[in-house]
Structure 1
Amino acid sequence: MSFDRIEEKLSILADAAKYDVSCASSGGKRKNHSKGLGNNTGMGICHSYTEDGRCVSLLKILLTNHCIFDCAYCVTRKSNDIKRAAFKIQEVVDLTINFYRRNYIEGLFLSSGIFKSADYTMERLVAVAKKLRLEENFNGYIHLKSIPGASDELMREAGLYADRLSVNIEIPTISGLQLLAPDKKHEDFIKPMEKVKNEIIQYKAEKKIIKSTPRYAPAGQSTQMIIGATGESDRDIMYSATYYYKKYLMRRVYYSGYIPVLEDNRLPAIGTEVPMLRENRLYQTDWLLRFYGFSVSELLNESHKNLELDIDPKLSWALRNLNLFPIDINTADKRALARVPGIGMTSVNKILQARKFRNLDWTHLKAIGIALNRAQYFITCNSKDFYKKELSAVMLKSKILKNTNSKYNKFFNQQLSLFT
């Protein structure tokens, strides 16, 4: 195979993989043994950033963009007139090793269109990971996309060689999937998720008894939803995400805004792609549900089905629940502190530690790093000052947005002055 042909395949199949965003490596730890290649220490892959600010990346490609399905939202659907390509197993192995040796990447994210059958495709994905681990002694991060409908045997083998597995549920609701991907069955997505979950549970149980038990998908599993291809509200999306977190022990659920690439009367028109800000608000909501003790029904309900784009979901909730504020920063418990706009969990822990030694005032809070341009309207501390007073929710929102915009404008002008 000529270099030009490999380069052409890489161009086609790397571009086709850009629509899949579920490629972080959080949680993976694979030590290097016997002078092998790579070392996955759980620091993140694919344009993620480590604690010291280092950016790490991976080779992100499809094994092939041939597909037997005709999903309306997918650029690789079988009826779409695009240039097709497929890598051989050894070609992916060679690319990964050569890119790693040149320090271009620190891992591999491998997905694929489905050709011939789910098992045939999954078998080839597993073969790539197996060759890298056993023949090349590669210890870097490997993320494999699980193919819907793949057998339990292949899913088990995949988890022995990959750090993370993921099955994209694609559309948040069953009705949406039936509309846009009638060839696919919801249970085909669920089956591999269930298998991975059970294998992870079994591995953890066996590891307590037999220390040499082979690791299984140490970075867990994830999934991805396409947002905006069908008419689901943000509330529908977050209830679906919560279900997958609880039912299948997902490490992450990713939200990918729909980008119109094909004309289809079942889809939004070309030029009506989902704004990046909606993705951002969904991720913020996801974070609040997993780490801040919120429930979906608190953030989204019958009268508030979609997230506000101009303010973050925690501030939106606080403005609708002003009766719960202000709280005393020196006496409130951890849960109450975490619900104050402008106070993140790191700051919550700092506050809990600091107030063991003295009552905190505004100066202390500013030093801790909380966003006082928002938090000041929802708290009291060792001071008689309280900035909320009798402001309504509408007035508060306007005031906070003005403060926030003023802060960012000041920062922007400071940065601009460095270049003038």
Structure 2
Amino acid sequence: MELNSKLAILADAAKYDASCASSGGTRRDSTQGRGLGSNEGMGICHSYAPDGRCISLLKILLTNYCRFDCLYCVNRASSDVPRARFTIDEVVQLTLDFYRRNCIEGLFLSSGIIRSPDYTMEQVVEVARRLREEHDFRGYIHLKTIPDAAPELLQRAGRHADRLSINIELPTESGLTALAPEKNAMSIKRSMARVRMQIDEARAQQQEAQAQAMTFLPRARPARARPEPFAAAGQSTQMIVGADGADDATILSTSATLYGAYRLKRVYYSAFSPIPDAASALPPQAPPLQREHRLYQADWLMRFYGFGAEEIAPPTGGGMLRLDVDPKLAWALAHPERFPVDINRAPRELLLRVPGLGVKAVDRLLLARRVRRLRADDLQRLHVPLRKVLPFTVADGHRPSRAPAATAATARAAVPRAAPPVQAALF
């Protein structure tokens, strides 16, 4: 098969994997005159750097052949999709060629399971090793790891990759057993734990080396080997939304557990897409894309705003996020007793729960009110959406005059009516 035909098949096969961000990677910059490429910037694969640049990566599978027969996967063993497989040299050369053409700044590489998990993982790791050691490639590399692969292969992968990811696949073990019986939830979590231990160990060694370098010693000491980084951008995972019967409360609870137990950088949510000749156990239609969007918003609230998963989607309330308003506004409307909030006195954790106030806006408010008392005009200078913020806040010269029910109605009216969401094409 021609290389272009392989690329068309294996790039299309990789589009269902959403876990490909790069923030937090170790600085590798070729501007100092050596090496090839750079991983500087805020993201990879259709993410945006602080200066507005769109940063992308070559996102492919090594092969879409797979021994497993997961019902939700288009590349499952029983699927009749066209199959292809890259050689290691082909992936390395494609990455270098696309970089030299200024098309990409990194590589995201995953694969179907061929022969065995160890064999597949060896092939994936060898691609990263050749890029780093033989071609001195300094761009971003994200490797999708195989849960059942040997621990030494995971260690080698983390030595060359900026980020590793192991897909949890589904939010519940029962869902994984029903739709992907060849995969094991405990094996996946065990691999996540190993990656976390390696990351923690590497960071501890780096911190120790930095502390020793800053310690004053009167006599010269022998130079020590610099600790090798291990997946400096951390690890991530992905959950399929809507393939099983799990509600949003269950999904967010699983995400909270993963963040706490394995210190994941990100949990990605991917709305289930119906596939040809699907099994009867799968739903006939995809969930609304707005549900995926609300889960990302709720995930952001857990990571940066101090919300608990049980607050955002209470199991007693049906366990589903509202689609008509964002989760933060939905929480505020459900708790009128917590509002209005005095922006001149409220602590940071309460200000973060005000609809329309983001983390940066709250931090600026806290700095400004140390100098003087704040008015509603000061909120306008921060470029916050006043129609969302004012019904829930008190400031000098401003107090909501309406009853809580009217305030809630005002807040609902402030929500813009957006056009129906459209799934973006990655390639």
Q: TM-score, normalised by structure 1?
A: 0.92
Q: Kindly tell me: are residues 113 and 356 of structure 1, through their superposed partners in 2, closer, same or farther at Cα, counting changes over 3 Å?
A: same
Q: Which amino acid aligns with 2:241?
A: I
Quote the offset at 1:210 in angstroms: 3.8
> Residues 272-329 of structure 1: CA distance to partner in whole angstroms, max 9, x if unpaired?
1122211111111111111111111211223321100000111111111101111111
SS of the equivalent of 2:60 reads strand
Quote the offset at 1:396 in angstroms: 4.1
Map 1:15-414 to 2 at 5 A: 15-32=12-29, 35-210=34-209, 212-262=226-276, 263-269=278-284, 272-304=285-317, 305-387=319-401, 389-392=402-405, 395-405=406-416
> Residues 84-114 of structure 1: CA distance to partner in whole angstroms, max 9, x if unpaired?
0000000000000000000000000000000
Quote the offset at 1:151 in angstroms: 0.7
Q: Which amino acid aligns with 1:370?
A: V
Q: Which stretch shifts more, 290-299 or 26-35?
A: 26-35
Quote the offset at 1:138 in angstroms: 0.1
Quote the offset at 1:148 in angstroms: 1.8
5+ long unaligned stretches in structure 1 = 410-420
Q: Which amino acid aligns with 2:263?
A: L
Q: Which amino acid aligns with 1:107?
A: G
Tell me how far apart the structure 2 counterparts of residues 318 and 31 of structure 1 sit (CA, whole Å).
Answer: 43
> Could you tell me which residue of structure 1 aligns to residue 221 of structure 2?
none
Match of 1:10 among 7, 12, 24: 7
Tell me how far apart the structure 2 counterparts of residues 303 and 371 of structure 1 sit (CA, whole Å).
Answer: 31
Tell me how far apart the structure 1 counterparts of residues 42 and 332 of structure 2 sit (CA, whole Å).
Answer: 34
- Conserved in 2, the CA contact under 8 Å of 1:229 and 1:267? yes
Tell me how far apart the structure 1 counterparts of residues 197 and 107 of structure 2 sit (CA, whole Å).
Answer: 25
> Residues 358-410 of structure 1: CA distance to partner in whole angstroms, max 9, x if unpaired?
111111111112211111111110014314x2141xx544433333338x79x
Q: Which stretch shifts more, 168-177 or 302-311?
A: 302-311
Quote the offset at 1:241 in angstroms: 0.4
Q: Which amino acid aligns with 1:25?
A: S
Tell me how far apart the structure 2 counterparts of residues 396 and 227 of structure 1 sit (CA, whole Å).
Answer: 33
- Conserved in 2, the CA contact under 8 Å of 1:28 and 1:42? no
- Conserved in 2, the CA contact under 8 Å of 1:149 and 1:191? no
- Conserved in 1, the CA contact under 8 Å of 2:121 and 2:145? yes
> Could you tell me which residue of structure 1 aligns to residue 222 of structure 2?
none
SS of the equivalent of 1:242 reads helix
Quote the offset at 1:62 in angstroms: 0.2
Tell me how far apart the structure 1 counterparts of residues 398 and 124 of structure 2 sit (CA, whole Å).
Answer: 64
Q: Which stretch shifts more, 75-84 or 295-304?
A: 295-304
> Could you tell me which residue of structure 1 aligns to residue 223 of structure 2?
none
Tell me how far apart the structure 1 counterparts of residues 314 and 208 of structure 2 sit (CA, whole Å).
Answer: 46
Q: Percent of aligned positions with the same letter in both sequences?
A: 49
Spell out structure 1 runs of 4+ moving beyond 6 A.
none
Q: RMSD of the TM alignment (CA)?
A: 1.5
Q: Which amino acid aligns with 1:257?
A: A
Tell me how far apart the structure 1 counterparts of residues 41 and 264 of structure 2 sit (CA, whole Å).
Answer: 17
SS of the equivalent of 2:415 reads helix
- Conserved in 1, the CA contact under 8 Å of 2:41 and 2:50? no
- Conserved in 2, the CA contact under 8 Å of 1:149 and 1:192? yes
